[in-house]
Protein backbone atom coordinates (compact mmCIF):
# COMPACT_ATOMS: atom_id res chain seq x y z
CA UNK A 1 0.00 0.00 0.00
CA UNK A 2 1.13 3.53 -0.72
CA UNK A 3 -0.19 6.90 0.39
CA UNK A 4 0.34 10.49 -0.70
CA UNK A 5 -1.23 13.95 -0.79
CA UNK A 6 -2.53 15.51 -4.02
CA UNK A 7 -2.94 18.88 -2.19
CA UNK A 8 -6.02 20.30 -3.98
CA UNK A 9 -8.89 19.59 -6.38
CA UNK A 10 -6.58 20.08 -9.36
CA UNK A 11 -4.36 17.39 -7.84
CA UNK A 12 -7.35 15.03 -7.66
CA UNK A 13 -8.04 15.70 -11.34
CA UNK A 14 -4.39 15.09 -12.25
CA UNK A 15 -4.31 11.90 -10.20
CA UNK A 16 -7.37 10.50 -11.96
CA UNK A 17 -5.92 11.51 -15.32
CA UNK A 18 -2.62 9.82 -14.44
CA UNK A 19 -4.39 6.59 -13.51
CA UNK A 20 -6.33 6.71 -16.78
CA UNK A 21 -3.07 7.03 -18.70
CA UNK A 22 -1.49 4.18 -16.72
CA UNK A 23 -4.50 1.97 -17.46
CA UNK A 24 -4.30 2.72 -21.17
CA UNK A 25 -0.53 2.14 -21.30
CA UNK A 26 -0.86 -1.15 -19.40
CA UNK A 27 -3.85 -2.43 -21.40
CA UNK A 28 -6.04 -2.26 -18.30
CA UNK A 29 -9.41 -0.73 -17.47
CA UNK A 30 -9.73 2.49 -15.45
CA UNK A 31 -12.84 3.08 -13.36
CA UNK A 32 -14.05 6.05 -11.33
CA UNK A 33 -16.63 5.03 -8.75
CA UNK A 34 -16.34 8.23 -6.71
CA UNK A 35 -19.81 9.63 -7.43
CA UNK A 36 -21.53 6.26 -7.00
CA UNK A 37 -19.82 5.63 -3.66
CA UNK A 38 -20.73 9.16 -2.55
CA UNK A 39 -24.40 8.40 -3.37
CA UNK A 40 -24.28 5.04 -1.59
CA UNK A 41 -22.81 6.62 1.52
CA UNK A 42 -25.48 9.34 1.47
CA UNK A 43 -28.26 6.73 1.12
CA UNK A 44 -26.76 4.84 4.06
CA UNK A 45 -26.64 8.10 6.01
CA UNK A 46 -22.86 7.87 6.38
CA UNK A 47 -21.57 11.39 6.81
CA UNK A 48 -18.41 12.35 4.95
CA UNK A 49 -16.94 15.83 5.12
CA UNK A 50 -15.50 15.93 1.64
CA UNK A 51 -16.10 14.55 -1.83
CA UNK A 52 -15.14 10.88 -1.91
CA UNK A 53 -12.39 9.66 -4.24
CA UNK A 54 -12.72 6.01 -5.27
CA UNK A 55 -10.92 4.95 -8.45
CA UNK A 56 -9.06 1.96 -9.76
CA UNK A 57 -7.24 0.18 -12.54
CA UNK A 58 -8.05 -3.49 -13.23
CA UNK A 59 -6.85 -6.28 -15.48
CA UNK A 60 -8.96 -9.30 -16.43
CA UNK A 61 -6.85 -11.62 -14.25
CA UNK A 62 -7.83 -9.67 -11.12
CA UNK A 63 -4.63 -7.69 -10.73
CA UNK A 64 -4.66 -3.93 -10.42
CA UNK A 65 -5.20 -1.26 -7.83
CA UNK A 66 -7.90 0.61 -5.98
CA UNK A 67 -7.38 4.08 -4.58
CA UNK A 68 -9.38 6.40 -2.37
CA UNK A 69 -9.57 8.94 0.39
CA UNK A 70 -12.30 7.48 2.62
CA UNK A 71 -11.21 7.91 6.23
CA UNK A 72 -8.35 10.19 5.24
CA UNK A 73 -7.92 13.92 4.77
CA UNK A 74 -9.71 15.40 1.76
CA UNK A 75 -6.75 15.39 -0.62
CA UNK A 76 -4.99 12.34 0.77
CA UNK A 77 -4.98 9.18 -1.34
CA UNK A 78 -4.20 5.60 -0.32
CA UNK A 79 -3.64 2.91 -2.96
CA UNK A 80 -3.86 -0.83 -2.45
CA UNK A 81 -2.66 -3.30 -5.08
CA UNK A 82 -4.10 -6.72 -5.92
CA UNK A 83 -2.06 -9.57 -7.38
CA UNK A 84 -4.67 -11.51 -9.32
CA UNK A 85 -3.43 -14.64 -11.08
CA UNK A 86 0.01 -13.24 -11.98
CA UNK A 87 1.72 -12.10 -8.75
CA UNK A 88 5.13 -11.34 -10.29
CA UNK A 89 3.62 -9.12 -13.00
CA UNK A 90 1.36 -7.47 -10.41
CA UNK A 91 4.37 -6.59 -8.24
CA UNK A 92 6.17 -5.18 -11.27
CA UNK A 93 3.05 -3.15 -12.11
CA UNK A 94 2.90 -1.75 -8.56
CA UNK A 95 6.54 -0.60 -8.82
CA UNK A 96 5.84 1.12 -12.15
CA UNK A 97 2.77 2.86 -10.69
CA UNK A 98 4.64 4.01 -7.59
CA UNK A 99 7.50 5.42 -9.71
CA UNK A 100 5.07 7.25 -11.99
CA UNK A 101 3.19 8.80 -9.06
CA UNK A 102 6.45 9.71 -7.28
CA UNK A 103 7.38 11.93 -10.23
CA UNK A 104 4.62 14.31 -9.12
CA UNK A 105 3.79 13.52 -5.48
CA UNK A 106 5.63 12.58 -2.30
CA UNK A 107 4.67 8.89 -2.10
CA UNK A 108 4.93 7.04 1.22
CA UNK A 109 5.07 3.23 1.40
CA UNK A 110 2.78 1.84 4.10
CA UNK A 111 4.15 -1.26 5.87
CA UNK A 112 2.13 -4.44 5.32
CA UNK A 113 1.07 -4.66 8.97
CA UNK A 114 -0.25 -1.07 9.06
CA UNK A 115 -3.05 0.81 7.38
CA UNK A 116 -3.30 4.26 5.85
CA UNK A 117 -3.76 7.11 8.31
CA UNK A 118 -4.36 10.82 7.67
CA UNK A 119 -0.72 11.90 7.71
CA UNK A 120 0.56 12.47 4.16
CA UNK A 121 -1.06 15.91 3.70
CA UNK A 122 0.22 17.05 7.07
CA UNK A 123 3.79 15.88 6.48
CA UNK A 124 5.07 18.24 3.83
CA UNK A 125 4.77 20.58 0.92
CA UNK A 126 4.11 19.70 -2.73
CA UNK A 127 7.01 18.64 -4.91
CA UNK A 128 8.28 21.21 -7.41
CA UNK A 129 6.38 19.50 -10.25
CA UNK A 130 3.10 20.25 -8.45
CA UNK A 131 3.66 23.95 -7.89
Q: Which residues face 64 on adjacent strands? A: 58, 82
Range of lowest pLDDT (8-17, 39-48, 100-109, 119-128):
119-128
Q: How far is CA 50 from CA 32, 34, 75, 106, in A?
A: 16, 11, 9, 22
Q: Mind listing the pLDDT tens digit for each residue in 6-33?
A: 999 999 999 999 999 999 999 999 999 9
CA–CA dist 11, 96 (Å, integer): 20
pTM over 0.85: yes
Predicted confidence at residue 131, as pLDDT, reads 38
Q: Mind listing the pLDDT tens digit for each residue in 59-118?
A: 999 999 999 999 898 899 999 999 999 999 999 999 999 999 999 999 999 988 888 887
Amino acid sequence: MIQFCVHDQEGVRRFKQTLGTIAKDEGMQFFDGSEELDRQLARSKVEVKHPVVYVGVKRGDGSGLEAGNLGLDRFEIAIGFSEGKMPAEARSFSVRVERTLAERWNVHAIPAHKGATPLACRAGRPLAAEQ
